[in-house]
Amino acid sequence: MTMYNVAPYYQFCSSDVEFPTTMYSLKSIHSIGEGEDDPALLELERRQERILLDLNALKNEVDMLSERYMPSSGSRQITKNFEAASNDDWLKTGVVHDIVINANPNQPPHSLFVLYKLLSEQYTCAVSVHTHSSINVLPYQLLDCFGECSTRRHDAQLMLTLIWKDVPCAEMIVSPNTQTPIQGESNVARYLARLLNPAYDSGDIIQATEIDNWIDLASNSFLNGSSRERTAAIKTLNSHLGKQDWLMGDELSLADVMMWSALHQSGQEAESAPANIQKWFKACGVHPSFDRAQGLL
């Protein structure tokens, strides 16, 4: 029995139906005859040769730039956290970093001022602060956030320009012609930390990963998280600081700098924090790297 009958689309006949043997066919790019070359194959070979030449030229240019600007593998000490590299090595490379950072005065990136303090101890730095037209009123302390700087631009190894601007989050531009802005205070901090220690990623990979985890917690839970997420993060942070003075052990690290900034921006007061976090807040408060940032709170 059948449920219903359907009229055939065609009268089946094996001799009338031609079944394909391939999904689709392409014109052969191989020789179509003895002693005769297909123009398509010749063009493909010429194109490949041009690409290989371009790649070789690019490789030579990269090698030349790396020899000119990048420090040798042994010229910098691989450090645990923020131990300074040799300033003489930096001078030999001739690299000048010109960085522009846009930041919202309603959410000052406090980590920037701590990292700049560390950078200025290691390199010759110049800084300038400006106010964008999108900002109507700017507190004086934010306009004078870096204090007095006597270094001229052309004498600096690192030139930092801070623009207070109505932006959703801090953003950094290193090369406006070739680079997409780096978004988020945590990512700006990661970049600056690698200026402090170029061997950041080639040293202790496990430690670098742990620092990234703390930075993600600071960004995701305190800066961008819900109240429930912040409460859970406070418990995690307090428990961890009960075992050691700093997030990564006995020394200040990028994790502490970013976490300190995130806690202040989220409105977490030291007086109302759990005991271990209060102790850590006090340690940050007396650390010389936090002097300028403390004055902006």
Q: What is the domain class of 205-288 according to CATH?
A: mainly alpha
What 8-state DSSP symbol labels residue 36?
Answer: B
**What is the model's pLDDT at position 291?**
87
Domain ranges, ordered by start, for the chain: 87-196, 205-288
The Cα–Cα gap between 262 and 259 comes to 5
Asked if 233 contacts 225 with a C-beta cutoff of 8 angstroms, the reply is: yes
Q: What is the residue whose two structure tokens read 């450090």?
A: 79
pTM: 0.65
pLDDT by residue (tens digit) across 111-122? 999 999 998 888
Q: Return the minimum-mean-pLDDT range out of 104-113, 144-153, 156-165, 259-268.
A: 144-153
pLDDT by residue (tens digit) across 73-104? 433 333 344 544 444 444 444 557 888 999 99
**What is the model's pLDDT at position 73?**
41
Mean per-residue pLDDT for 157-185? 86
| H-assigned helices in the chain | 39-69, 87-93, 110-122, 140-143, 185-196, 205-217, 227-241, 254-265, 275-286, 291-294
**What is the model's pLDDT at position 68?**
65
The domain over range 87-196 is classified in CATH as 3.30.160.150: no
Asked if 131 contacts 143 with a C-beta cutoff of 8 angstroms, the reply is: yes
Specify burial of residue 50 (Cβ count, 10 A radius: 0-12, 13-18, 19+). exposed
Q: How confident is the model at residue 33 (pLDDT cuts 50, 70, 90)?
A: low
Asked if 208 contacts 201 with a C-beta cutoff of 8 angstroms, the reply is: yes
Q: Is the pLDDT of residue 45 over 80?
A: yes
pLDDT by residue (tens digit) across 19-31? 778 788 777 666 5
